[in-house]
Amino acid sequence: MAEQIIFQTEDKDGSIEVKDVDNVRSLYFGSFAQQSAMSLQNPDQLHLAYTKAMMSWLLFEEIKDDDVLLIGLGGGSLAKYLLQKFSDCRVEAVEYRAAVAEIAHDYFDLPKQERLNMVIDDGARYVKERANLQHELYRIIILDAFDSNGIAEALCNPEFFAACKKMLKKEGILVINLWNTNEQFTQLFSWLGRLFEAKLLFLPVHGMVNVIGLFFHENTPIYSRKALQKRAIQLEKTYRLPFKQFLKDLIAYNPNFIDYTISSS
Burial profile 43-57: b = 16 or more Cβ within 10 angstroms, e = fewer: eebbbbebbbbbbbb
Q: Is 144 a catalytic residue?
A: yes
Handedness of CA 153, 157, 189, 261 (dihedral sign): negative
CA dist 203 and 194 (Å) reads 19
* Residue 125 region by backbone torsions, left for phi larger than 0, else alpha for psi between -120 and 50, else beta: alpha
Which residue is catalytic, options 144, 147, 249, 259?
144
Phi and psi at 223, nearest 5°, equal -85, 140
- The runs of H, that is alpha helices, within the chain are 49-53, 77-85, 98-107, 123-133, 158-167, 184-195, 225-239, 243-252
CA dist 98 and 119 (Å) reads 9
Known catalytic residues are 144
